[in-house]
Amino acid sequence: MPELRIDGARLCHSLEQLGAVGSYEEESTGLKGVNRLALTNDDRAGRQLVKRWFEEAGLTVRVDAIGNTYGRRAGREDDATPVMSGSHIDSVPTGGRFDGPLGVLGALEVVRTLNGAGVTTRRPIEIGFFTDEEGSRFGTDMLGSATACGRIELDTALALRDANEISVGQELSRIGFRGSARPRLDPPHAFVECHIEQGPILDARGMELGVVTGVQAIHWRELTIRGKSAHAGTTPMELRRDAGRAIAHIQVALDEMITSGRYGAGMRATIGRITLRPNLVNVVPGRASCTIDLRNPSDEAMARACEELRARLDGIAQNLGVEITGRETAATASVSFDERVRTLIAERMVAAGIKHEDILSGAGHDAQEFASICPAAMIFVPGQFDGISHNPREYSTPEACTAGIQILLDTLVTLANED
Ligand code: GLV
Ligand code: MN
Ligand code: MN
């Protein structure tokens, strides 16, 4: 077989072209960010572009009923179970160019390289992008891959609604990505995803790439707080039932839980979205809502933290005279990636002389869904500026992206030539 080298310039050019879709200028900095919120017009434009690139690369394209889009490259033994790779192209509304697209366009670069060299692997290679990995719009992350791998039922996924009560199913039909293929996948031979790290660790430790050991547990909850709106000037403090103040107390409770150390150094807690009603300068908020995002490497610590949080919420409700109700919107246990595929990846990094180490993912990824149906693993590419992500500053160098996708190619080809 000829030596296969990916074309880093072609990869970066594709990243730039897709990055221009849904691009916006951050007001305060003038930086270019990406807003391709799932199933919006900009997501549709991104999907159409990448689908066209799949077709131009000679792949057989199929779109499933949850909008996951796959491109299949035939193998010498085309009945053999395929090797898969991919990620997502939806973004948070304040995203960057790399979170997701690196894994999709990287997999496409692998296919383009194989095409250029005229190499056919034993097994087929399937690449794809999965619907609403971010969960920013419909509240549940890894939606497409979780449906493909069986954690979420198709009907449940299609019925999810955004803040304007528009459903996933409606939007898929509107943007022309409600396909006919059945979403549930037969287990592939293996799944490998390349993604940016989205954190500071690899760069700070002088590492060129990371081998991902797994993904920590994630728990999302949406709270509704009901109090009583009243005059801000005349209502004595002791008579208030202030729903906004409850959110401040919840934030303090989360901070105390973290600093207590009871849940380990790896616990993270974020209140990312708050609404207040009526949201006026001189009215005590009578109604509020917020989201809570909890992360922990340990499922046991996560379970204890959720229990303490529930008790804390009861206490806050009682103290402030408000009612707090909650709804779990997403929850995934910690996931360990496949030892054998991780070792394959590490061996390829050693052979290429790349400084690397093992790393646990702080963010959720499509590969974690595949870990429940087949051997799955991930390659992390370090980011600049403390690995900032979900932010227009998100940036990984062309050298780092090229190194990560070269390892993706080496790993996929090895897996696709296995018996
Ligand atoms: C995905 O980006 C996550 O929230 O971890
Ligand atoms: Mn991502
Ligand atoms: Mn993300």
**186-227 pLDDT, tens digit each:** 999 999 999 999 999 999 999 999 999 999 999 999 999 999
Alpha-carbon gap, residue 346 to 410, rounded angstroms: 11
Q: Of 4.10.80.400, 3.10.20.740, 3.20.20.70, 3.40.630.10, which CATH number belongs to 8-215+334-416?
A: 3.40.630.10
What is the domain partition of the chain in residue ranges? 8-215+334-416, 217-332
In this prediction, residue 392 carries a pLDDT of 97
Task: Give mean pLDDT, residues 45-67.
Answer: 98
Q: Distance from the CA of 194 to the center of ligand 2, in angstroms? A: 10
Instruction: List all residues whose CB is within 6 A of at least one atom of ligand 1.
Output: 134, 141, 363-364
Handedness of CA 93, 192, 377, 82 (dihedral sign): positive
Ligand 3 (single-atom ion) residues, CB below 5 Å: 99
In this prediction, residue 344 carries a pLDDT of 98
Q: Which pLDDT tens digit goes with each residue over 353-399?
A: 999 999 999 999 999 999 999 999 999 999 999 999 999 999 999 99
In this prediction, residue 342 carries a pLDDT of 98
Q: What are the C-alpha distances in Å from 399 to residues 113, 121, 382?
A: 17, 26, 10
Q: Which of 249, 414, 222 is nearest to 326 (CA)?
A: 222
**Which residue's alpha carbon is nearest to atom 1 within ligand 1?**
364
Q: Which pLDDT tens digit goes with each residue over 85-140?
A: 999 999 999 999 999 999 999 999 999 999 999 999 999 999 999 999 999 999 99
Q: Fold for domain 217-332?
A: Alpha-Beta Plaits (3.30.70)
Q: Are 113 and 409 in contact (CB under 8 A)?
A: yes
* Average pLDDT along the chain: 98
In this prediction, residue 235 carries a pLDDT of 98
Q: Distance from the CA of 363 to the center of ligand 1, in angstroms? A: 5
